Every structure is written in C-alpha cells, then in structure tokens.
Amino acid sequence: MALLQILKDGDELLRKTSRPVEEITPRITTLLDDMVETMREANGCGLAAPQVGVLRRVVVVECSPGKVYELINPVIVATKGKQNEIEGCLSIPGKNGITERPMYVTVEALDRNGKKKRYKGEGLLARAFCHEIDHLDGILFTDKALHMLTPEELKEYYEEE
C-alpha cells in the first residue's frame, strides 16, 4: 500500500466529473487500499478518487474505526430528513462550514468484488456518503455551505460539545 497525495482546493481535477469504473481490476483494488491508508493517515472519514488525482467513481468512507465502506460507482437512491452540521474536507484544510445534508441516505454501489450492494447511512455516515459522492461530480462542500465558519465560531462549536 502507498500513501497518495491529496489534491488541494484550486486544483482543476477537483472540479471535473469522474468516469464510471467499467471493470474492477487489480489497479482499482489497489486504489481502494491506498485510499483507505491515505484517508486514515490524514485523519479523515472519507476520501474520493478525484482527491488523489484519479477521475474514477470510487469512494472510501470510515466514520467508525474499522468499518470501511468501499464504494465503486456509488449512487444515492433515497434520502430522508435533513441535518445542518459542520463539515470539512481533506482537500480544503483549515476551513469548515455548515451544510445541509439528508439525515438518512441509501446508496447503491459495487464492492471491490463487483457485487452490487446497498448501504444505509444516518447522521455523520449519511453526510460522509453525500460529501464524497459530490466529489465525483466536481462538487465541494464549500459549494453547498450555508455558512463558512470563522476560527472563533469553530472554537465555540467544539467548546459546546
């Protein structure tokens, strides 16, 4: 496995639409492994392939230690409710904002073996699924932020928890 470089805001690849994965090859499974390692090393809870310079519809999410979701060609098929919560991004370090996301989502995707699976997410997991899938279409959380937080607001937010 290898650590990959995470692209930062301003890199034009982050604004491009990713192509579907037509065939799950060893290259794709290696990408999944490397993305998980990179996400963990960066202390993130999700990472999309465009963030590491690969324009493929591949996402990894890990909101709970050891519970990794590897999503190939993910599609959100259902949403319910809404939540307005703080969000950040490994590609936009040092910036956080409040975004509105669904409270519940259902995602269909292929796993690393090419099997179609359905995943349900609630709260943080739902937000992470939406955030990472947005990356596949060149959308950043700052595009959806209702309010970007100042450093003081961020500090207050964490003091309240």
58 phi-psi bin (left φ>0, alpha ψ -120 to 50, beta other): beta
User: Do 123 and 116 touch, CB atoms closer than 8 A?
Assistant: no
The answer to whether 100 is a known catalytic residue is no
Cβ(32)–Cβ(48) below 8 Å? no
Q: How many CB atoms lie within 10 A of CB 37?
A: 16
- Which one is catalytic: 85, 100, 132, 159? 132
Q: Which residues are catalytic?
A: 132
